[in-house]
Each structure stands twice: as structure tokens, then as C-alpha cells.
Amino acid sequence: MDCKRNYIDGEWVASKTNATRDIINPFNQEVIATVTESDEVDTQTAIKAARKAFDSGEWATTPATKRGQIVRTIAQFIERDKEELAKLESLDTGKTVEESRGDMEDIAGVFHYYAELADKNGGEIIDSPIPNSISKVVHEPVGVCGQITPWNYPLLQASWKLAPALVAGNTLIMKPSEITPLTTVKVFELMEEAGVPAGVVNLVLGPGHSVGAELSANKEVDLISFTGGIATGKKIMQAASSNVKNLALELGGKNPNIVFADADFDTAVDQALNAVYFHAGQICSAGTRLIVEESVHDAFIDKLVKRVMDIKLGNGFNEATQMGPLISEEHLNKVIDYVETGKQEGATVAVGGDRPSDPQLQKGFFYLPTVLTNCTTDMKVVQNEGFGPVITVETFQSEEEAIHLANDSIYGLSGGIWTNDIAKAERCVAKMRMGTVWINEYNLYFPHAPWGGFKQSGIGRELGRAGLEEYQETKHIFQNLKPEAINWF
């Protein structure tokens, strides 16, 4: 098995430490790859390469149409290699290949979207208050960008950072999660094949406490874009103050999914499952706080539980599998503790609440899809992000109570609302403090619409025009066409 390496200044190189890390398939704990394990010194080498490439001005002054063409070629290569990439993502994360195929389509779509935007953001002439002058606003790249991604959607989250950074003319160093780096390595191969010049994109494989911390603190890095947990985000924010870096944080969520009694009952039940159980609930936007109008609660939970009992756990490579394992033993233990806490707090396990007993699943990090009823907003299990296949259920009697429960969180990433009363939906949405709110829908995202969180779910936006603007500085240029002395002094 060859060892996957860093990509620095256009070369594939092993870490100077000579250390390696085994990458594990969460379905059966088999080693699927070995990768180089880097440290601060490797990171500094990559930062220097990105700095040199940016300061040379070559990429930033490449015409935007040309940068767009290269990004479009990357999209086409992802489409060409979609099946290989999807299988690699599933081996690495345990999610079903069907889900990974969907991710790859989304990822190619993100590269296509930003390729199209590349030459459509050329700045503007603004009305100057001074006669005989020109006032214009232009967009320039921020500079050297550090990009740090999580393990749950490894390549998807990488694409949201790579594509806009490239079309805006930046250079970058990416650090994928040390647990799931394989598809990111592959996309760096595709970026090399597409002709991205040496030094513009750099990849450093390794852990957060060394590689990630160096990227966040190093004064040669102008921007840090991070997707991951709140605790890490806070550390990065502190480290980034070293040189007042630009900062984009995509953090966690504890997302409400509100069901009113007038909603289409069967659709709302079905979508309550979709809101949570994809990728075993390891989704930032998972609608894990189900908030149901009291009058339909019992019928709703009956139907939900029946549907949950039918969810098929297994190897993501089997077509019949609907839910794979959690990412690691460490994470499985966190989910077990999380549910135990809920039970101690008084929640009732309506279904699940344990590991599966199926002998075929014992080597994998599986946890049963779970519904906890009798939950109240003060419980830890309602307030903390569990990041597993666990729904907590609360009830409400009035619109105001539903909104109060939905907003009673340090998070503000996303939320859903199910009702056939459009006026009620609009009233509620106006009060919901979240970056994305779905009405009669859940978990839908696409390249044209911005994504990001209110409150402690983050700072800044990815996707859409806003996702490009994160990678741009705005410059005002004022030119006096008839300069004269003003003789003030």
C-alpha cells in the first residue's frame, strides 16, 4: 500500500517527521490506506510555498476567465472520476455509496458554479461626489488562505473552500481531517492534472493540534476558513488574532424541526427521518430537535418509531443499506454517553438507545437510530450537539412556544418548519434565528444559496456570492483627473 503524501509547491512529499497514520474503514476497522503524518515544520514549508506563489502575483493576475476555466476542468475531472471518488469517500467515512454519489454531484456542481462566477465579479464604478474624478471598487484576493475541514463531509466541505478561493486568485494550504483525508488527496491530484500552478494549492496531512494550530497562528496566513466543532473554532479564533486574520467559521448545530398539526402528516414523518439519519446523524444541520404540536404528538411518534425500526444498518457498499456506522470508536463512545445522559435526565427511549445486536455489525462503530421522547428544553441532550442518529422530541401548544423552543439554543445553523398555513410559516421563519430555514423541506443545500450560522454556529458564509466574497478584499480606488493645490496650510 503506497503512503499518501503532502502536496507542497507542486511536489508530492512525505512529512519530514517520517511518521505515518493508518486510515481505518469504520465499517470493519480494516486499514484502507496509510498517510504521511505532518507537523508544524511541514506546515511552515507549505505556508512559505503558498506565500511565495501569492507574492509572485502570477495566479492573482491570471485573467479571471482563465482561472474559471481551470476550476471548470476540475469539475469535469470530478465528474469523470465520480464513481472512484464516491467509493473512496464511503470507505473512509462509512456512509452509503449512494449518499457519496450524491455528494460528488454536489461537489462537481460547486466547482462549476464558481467557475461561472469567476469573471462576473469585476467591480463597479461608483458615483463620485467630486467633479473630474473616477471612483471605482475592485475585488482582490485576500492572499494566503489556511483551510481546515472536518471528517463528516470531507470532500464536500473542502469543495466549498477550494473553488471560491481559487477563482478569487488566492493561494492556499488545506488540512483535511486526519481521520478522512483520502478524497481530498485525490482532488489535489485532479487539481494538479487540471493545471493549477505549483504553490497555488498545497495539502498538509496531519492532526489539528500541530498542523491546524500552526495554520491558524502563523502570521504569513491571511485568512483561515474552518469547518468543525465550536470548541476547535474558539481555539482557532484565538490563534488567528496573532495577525488579525480574516476568519470564516462553519461550526456545529442543534437544529429544530418544527411540526405543526396542520402539516401533511406522512410527509412530515418521512422528512423527520431524512432530517437526521443520513450519514448516521453526523450532519451539522441534522434536525435532531423535533418539536411537535401536542395534539399530533402521539400519532406522530407512533408512526416515526415504526419507520425507524425499518432502517437497515450495514455496509455502505451494500445497496440495501440505509445507514452506515459512526466514524470512530471514540465518537461511538461519545454518542453512547450522550444517550445515557438523556436517560438520566428523564428522557424515554422510544426506539434504539443501544448498539445493534446483529453479529455482522460488531466490528463496525454502529449505533441504532434512536428517538428520545419526554424531552424538555433544559436537558443537556436537547441543548448539546450529539452528532449521532438521535432525535429528541419536545412538544408545544402555541406558535410562540414553538418559536421559543426552536430559538432556545446557543446554535443557529438551520431549522425546518412543517405547516400548510403559509402565513404562519412566514411569521415563524421571520423569528427563527438561523442561517437557513426550510419550509416544508429539510437538509436541502445548493451552490447558489449561502450557507452559514447565526449565533455560535459560525461567522461568515460559504456557497453563493457570499462564499466568494469571503475570499476577496474590497478596494476603493479614487483618481483625481484634475488635481489642484487646496492651500489649507
Ligand X SMILES: C[N+](C)(C)CC=O
Q: Is 168 in the site for ligand NAD (CB under 6 A)?
A: no
Q: Is the alpha carbon torsion for 438, 441, 444, 449 positive or negative?
A: negative
- With respect to ligand NAD, which residue has the nearer C-beta, 10 or 450? 450
Paired residues of 394 in beta bridges: 291
Nearer Cβ to ligand X (212/253): 253
CB 50 within 8 A of CB 171: yes
- Helical segments of 346-454, H only: 380-383, 399-407, 422-431
Q: Which residue is nearest to ligand X (CB)?
A: 284
In the region spanning residues 151 to 180, those forming contacts with ligand X, defined by CB under 6 A, are 152-153, 156
Should residue 37 be labelled a site residue for ligand NAD when binding is judged by CB under 6 A? no
Which CB sits closer to ligand NAD, 221 or 236? 236
386 binds ligand NAD (CB under 6 A): no
Distance CA 180, CA 92 (A): 6
Phi, psi (degrees; rounded to nearest 5) at 23: -100, 130
Which 123-152 positions form the footprint of ligand X (CB under 6 A)? 152
Residue 344 to residue 342: CA distance in whole angstroms? 5
Nearer to ligand NAD, 205 or 402 (CB): 205
Give the total of residues touching ligand NAD (CB under 6 A).
32
- Specify burial of residue 45 (Cβ count, 10 A radius: 0-12, 13-18, 19+): buried
* 229 contact, one of ligand X, ligand NAD, none, CB 5-8 Å limit per kind: ligand NAD
Site for ligand NAD in 319-378 (CB under 6 A): none
Question: Binding to ligand X by residue 45, rule CB under 6 A?
Answer: no
3-state helix, strand, coil in the chain (%, to 5): 40, 20, 35
Q: How far apart are CA 92 and CA 224, in angstroms?
A: 25
Phi, psi of 342 (to 5 degrees): -60, -45
Is residue 188 involved in binding ligand NAD (CB under 6 A)?
no
**What residue 25 binds from ligand X, ligand NAD, none (CB within 5 to 8 A, per partner kind)?**
none
Instruction: Give the integer Cα–Cα distance in Å for 284 and 277.
Output: 12
Helix (H) / strand (E) element for 437: namely strand 436-439
Q: Is 250 a catalytic residue?
A: yes
Say which amino acid occupies 404.
Answer: H
Picking from 30, 33, 25, 24, the residue whose alpha carbon sits closest to that of residue 4 is 33
Binding flag, residue 284, ligand X (CB under 6 A): yes
Q: Report residue 119 as a C-alpha cell.
A: 469573471
445 binds, among ligand X, ligand NAD, none (CB under 5 to 8 A by kind): ligand X
Q: Identify which of residues 199 and 467 has a Cβ nearer to ligand NAD in the complex.
A: 467
Q: Looking at beta carbons only, is 60 or 248 nearer to ligand X?
A: 248
Residue 178 binding: pick among ligand NAD, ligand X, none (C-beta 5-8 Å cut-off by kind): ligand NAD
| Partners of residue 475 on adjacent β-strands | 138
Interface with ligand NAD (CB under 6 A): 148-153, 157, 175, 177-178, 207-209, 212-213, 216, 227-229, 232, 235-236, 250-253, 284, 385, 387, 413, 453, 458
Kindly list the residues in this chain that would bind ligand X in the complex (CB under 6 A): 152-153, 156, 283-285, 445
Which residues carry out catalysis? 250
